[in-house]
Copies of this chain bind each other. A is one copy, B any other.
Amino acid sequence: MTKNLGPAAARRTFDEEVVLDAAAHVFRKHGFGGATVREVAQAAGMLPGSLHYRYPSKEALLLDLMERALNRVLALGRSAVESARDPAERLRLGLRAHIEALLSGDDDFYVLLYDWRSLEGAAMLGMLRLRARYEAFWDDLLQDAARAGWVRPGIDLELVRQFGFGAMNWVAQWRQETDPRTPADIADAFWSYLAFGLLAEDKRRGFGQTTRKRKGGRR
């Protein structure tokens, strides 16, 4: 299967992948707190000592894992989006990429989503910095769309990003393997709801089209 990739270093990275895959699987199943290094080792096909040789602590595993996850979504998002110039289309493609990543079966993303609270101190800060890059990726997409006049006025783009993140990430929670909707179906439906809204044409009058009764001023 995996032919000889060259000398030692290559196998080392390969091994690391295997270990992180195992960790992702176990952490996803039990949560970081509930998982044991022994089970990770077993899932990786090695003894606990061998795992310890590669990773000195459980937390180190979590860190590398979440970093890998973040790099992966970011890479997938960027590559998905680059094929289109149109800002709205780029948003749609980004949405697709994110949801397809989540539903690809890669356990990494679940750990990224659900074990955030297990990070501490510097580890947390590092992750936040990395996460900020992904958020910036989306903010760019949104701002490009807004600048090109695609977005109706009065919309808080940061709120939209969070709104979208929530909707997308939640898919990992509810979507079953047996669901007839493909990831792309779901993404496109989400895009359509988000872009056009739910209301029927004849019901769109009579409501403030931006938030009603604003409280604080814009920041």
Contacts and interface: CB of A to CB of B under 8 A. Distances in A.
Interface in A18-44: 28-35
A84 interface: no
A32 B198 CA distance: 37
B118 A31 contact: yes
Given A118-B31, A169-B166, A151 B188 contact: no
A186 B186 CA distance: 24
Nearest to A209: B196
Nearest to A27: B33
A217 to B, nearest CB: 9
Given A32-B33, A167-B167, A195-B207, 12 more contacts: A30-B117, A34-B118, A150-B199, A153-B200, A155-B198, A159-B181, A162-B171, A163-B193, A192-B207, A192-B212, A193-B197, A197-B198
22 contacts: A30-B33, A31-B117, A31-B118, A33-B34, A88-B207, A116-B173, A152-B196, A152-B200, A162-B167, A162-B171, A162-B174, A167-B170, A170-B170, A184-B215, A185-B211, A185-B214, A188-B211, A189-B211, A192-B212, A194-B198, A195-B198, A196-B207
